[in-house]
Amino acid sequence: MSGAAMPFKSRVERFLVERHGLGFSARGEACILRSFARHLHDIGHCGPLTVEVMTDWARRDSHGSTDPVTWARRLKRLRTFVRWLQQFEPDTEVPDDTVFGRMPERKAPHIYTEQEVIDLLASARRLGPASSLRGVIFETLFGLIASTGLRISEALSLKNADVDLKTGMLSIHLTKFGKSRQVPVHHSTLEALRRYRQQRDMAGEPYNDDTAFFVGSRGRLHGLPLGDRQVHRVFGELRRQLGWPNRGSHHAARIHDLRHTFVVRRIVEWHAQGVDIDQAMLSLSTYIGHAMVTNTYWYLSAVPELMALAAGRFEAYMSQARAGDE
């Protein structure tokens, strides 16, 4: 049994070495393929890989997902490896895209330029009336999302007790995947949070640890937790005023694209600094609250800026290889 599993595990490791040598970030694939190898070992699989074996593994998501789209995405992550494996084991089956039904493709996000983010915050700051907290509320909220990559739901769920203005640490509770995490913020973000809190308290807003950190400022919503619909309505108004060209696949630039932009800019900075992307990806995935690091690796193949960087790495690798052959 173990003798049958070891060759497959070795195949996985050889494939990962080859992919890394070609300039691909291998950690996302490594997590998936090693999980699959463990599954084959656990069930005592022998012989060629079949679609049945692969779909059985895909359904056994560690988060207990019952969503066929999630299963399909897991299965898709095996396909490049399985095609590679066929050259050594011709009886290997390759699953097609329809095993779990057609999988909707993730749409490319709008990646904000630095100037677009600056303009957004400046426009939010000018929201009236001048005597209200409205401007500072939305400037701080959008700035927080842009600088930390928080989901809008996570930012709006913050309580006063969750925002430590001494240490610059946010406590994010029961997020999209039912997990909690600690998010440290940059000192400039911390200063913005302190200014907002000071102005909010000076305006006489009710305060206790369980009060929402972001509150409404007008009419019947005054002092109540800031609502998702209200935030999206204000953002839509600002977007129309600013007239950004849409560079994503959605109908227009979205608040959630600030989160995507945070991730992309971080990876671009790492490339510029010569940081090992594979080493840093797990930390980034944890920081932004992804359930699986493979979700973070998605950006490398879906965002033009990062695809270009990956292509540059591949060209550099090939240049070195050609130089070595001369």
pLDDT tens digits, residue range 116-162? 999 999 999 999 888 889 999 999 999 999 999 999 999 999 999 99
Catalytic residue, candidates 107, 176, 195, 232? 176
Instruction: Give Cβ neighbours of residue 130 (< 8 Å, ≥ 6 apart).
Output: none
Residue 63 among the catalytic residues: no
Would you give the distance in Å from CA 209 to the centre of its chain?
A: 29
Residue 240 among the catalytic residues: no
At 87, the pLDDT band (50, 70, 90 cuts) reads confident
99, 83, 2: which is closest to 49 by C-alpha? 83
CB atoms within 10 A of CB 268: 16
CB atoms within 10 A of CB 309: 19
Q: What does the DSSP assignment read for 224-244? A: SBPPHHHHHHHHHHHHHHHTP
Residue 299 among the catalytic residues: yes
Looking at the DSSP assignment, which residues form a beta bridge with residue 156? Answer: none
Q: What are phi and psi of 20, to 5 degrees?
A: -65, -40
Catalytic residue, candidates 45, 259, 260, 287? 259
Which two three-digit tokens encode residue 207?
A: 């305060």
Q: How large a percentage of the chain has pLDDT more than 90?
A: 41
Would you give the distance in Å from CA 297 to the centre of its chain?
A: 8
Residue 181 host element (H or E): strand 181-184
At 187, the pLDDT band (50, 70, 90 cuts) reads very high
Residue 107 among the catalytic residues: no
Place of tokens 């998605």: 298
What single-letter DSSP state applies at residue 245?
Answer: P
Q: Please give, one letter per residue, the 3-state secondary structure of 156-180.
A: HCCEHHHEECCCCEEEECCCCCCCC
At 27, the pLDDT band (50, 70, 90 cuts) reads low
**Of the listed ranges 56-65, 100-109, 192-201, 215-224, the one predicted with least confidence:** 100-109
Residue 256 among the catalytic residues: yes
Predicted TM-score (pTM) of this structure: 0.67
Residue 259 among the catalytic residues: yes
Catalytic residue, candidates 74, 77, 290, 297? 290
Please, what's the b/e burial string for 213-232 (b: 16 or more CB within 10 A of its CB; e: otherwise)? Answer: bbbbbeeeeeeebbeeebbe
Catalytic residue, candidates 9, 34, 159, 256? 256
Q: What does the DSSP assignment read for 187-232? A: HHHHHHHHHHHHHHHHTT----TTSBSSBB-SGGGBTSBPPHHHHH
Which two three-digit tokens encode residue 274?
A: 């010569």
**Of the listed ranges 37-41, 130-134, 320-324, the one predicted with least confidence:** 320-324
Looking at the DSSP assignment, which residues form a beta bridge with residue 215? Answer: 225
